[in-house]
Amino acid sequence: MKEKILKNVKEFMPYIFILLVVILIRTFIATPIKVNGDSMYDTLDGSEFMILNKLAKVDRYDIVVVNTKEEELIKRVYGLPGEKISIEKGNIYINDKKIEDVYAYGDTSDYESITLSEDEYFVLGDNRAVSLDSRRIGPVKKSQIKGTTNFILYPFSRFGKLEK
């Protein structure tokens, strides 16, 4: 009887190992996510499935998933820790220098100057008219950023890496 149990356990060990590896990968390294809404239009149309990289370093213009109390938001990083951010007449200024904003879809509303702390980021949706972003919720903490995403899994017609 004992031998039969050991044989069955040995038989299932590869499957248990695979299951544990998948759980560890999804928990600590990468996981699929679904884009909801149109705040990132026209980069994303709101129906994509993407891969969230939980280990990547967050950099300017990265697309990130932000965890708020109410929901998860997908946004683009503009301001990095320690930087001064302002928006005047639709133009974004980082450390008092105007940046070329190639991702904006629609007009960007003004935002008074703010200097980010060492663990804060300023995020904006590409579709500025409808985006709930740092202009309304304020800067986001590093701990609120679940990871970066730049790889579309579905729809298959858009499969692949998004370029910055």
- DSSP structure class, residue 158: G
Catalytic site includes residue 98 = no
3-state SS, 33-69, equals EECCCCCCCCCCCCCCEEEEECCCCCCCCCEEEEECC
Buried b (16+ CB within 10 A) or exposed e, 111-121: beebebeeebb
**4-35: per-residue pLDDT in tens?**
777 777 888 888 888 888 888 888 889 999 99
**114-139: per-residue pLDDT in tens?**
999 999 999 999 999 999 999 999 99
The number of C-alpha atoms within 13 Å of 36 and in the hemisphere containing its C-beta is: 8
Joined tokens for residue 43:
């980069």
Residue 2 has pLDDT above 90, yes or no: no
Q: How far is CA 71 from CA 3, 36, 57, 66, in A?
A: 51, 11, 22, 8
**83-117: per-residue pLDDT in tens?**
999 999 999 999 999 999 999 999 999 999 999 99
Catalytic residue among 7, 57, 69, 75: 75
Report the C-alpha gap between 57 and 148 in whole angstroms.
8
Domain count, the chain: 1
Domain limits for position 10: 2-161
Catalytic residue among 2, 7, 10, 39: 39
pLDDT average, residue stretch 39-49: 92
Residue 107: give its domain's CATH number.
Answer: 2.10.109.10
pLDDT average, residue stretch 58-67: 97
Catalytic site includes residue 39 = yes
